[in-house]
Amino acid sequence: MIGFLVVDKEAGWTSHDVVARCRRVLGVRRVGHAGTLDPGATGVLVLGVGPATRLLRYLSSSVKEYRAEMILGVSTSTGDDEGEPVARFDMAGVTPAQVEAAAAAFRGEIDQQVPMVSAVKVGGQRLYRLARQGVTAPRPSRRVRIDRLEVAPLPEPGTYALAVTCSAGTYVRSLVADLGAALGGGAHLRRLRRVRAGRFTEADARPLAEIEAAWRDGQPVLRSPLDGLELPSAPVPLELCPSVRAGRAVAVEAWGDLPPGPVALVDPAGALLAVYERAEGQPLARPAVVLGPG
């Protein structure tokens, strides 16, 4: 069994909960996920099943798209509405035009500090575990990219709808907190939903209950690995397929103009055999992920 499972995660589940549930439902031990979603968040969570778990590295770096709400005037301990209020600000006079002007400064490449509730390790410990103990640790900054940041006022005072398209590794809660600070106060996140992860959108995602019912009825639930890989692909001649399945280095000239970096190699029937990579100027491509014989 191999493929990607595109789950529409509901609130209250951790990404690990979803993986554990799918292991039981599918009867497969090798299941992993690409791009963690917080328990309070909903939306697209992509799982790799079987050998496809080794392909998740290519999905984890994909562009993500989110919808959320920003609440002005209150900063929380977690940056979202699940945390405790830590500061309050009078931001009743902030206008939509001011919010838009502040948002403009966050479009493009920015440096973002990792939140204390993240899974990033500092001194060998996960930040979120330190946060639960009331410990504050120095947090690293990351360079991220905000391709799209749209803000629109909602009927509830001080509340704005957000649409964010960003690079992998971007923390939307940090973006909201920084935007609140740029407006002279504070803000926190509410109703975060991931609507796209790489090639997969919320239209591709199905709730766990629906996936389980389909699986019990014998319906297909997995997507082909090629559906999710945002990589150039190259056909492999039939006579070279055994070498690729065995993970042997192959001359690039064997299938034409292979670009530097990772490339998905497919057999004459269109099935994914492996992902190979080659460095600039090198005549040989070498295996990064081989899906094995068969």
Q: Which residues are catalytic?
A: 38
Backbone angles phi, psi at 193, to 5 degrees: -140, 125
User: Quick check: 119 and 132 in contact, CB under 8 A?
Assistant: no
User: Quick check: 76 and 116 in contact, CB under 8 A?
Assistant: no
Helices 96-104 + 172-182 axis angle, to 10: 120
Place of tokens 């397929």: 241
d(CA 279, CA 277): 7
User: Quick check: 72 and 158 in contact, CB under 8 A?
Assistant: yes
User: Quick check: 87 and 259 in contact, CB under 8 A?
Assistant: no
Q: Which amino acid is at 211?
A: I
d(CA 223, CA 29): 18
Beta-bridge partners for 141: 113
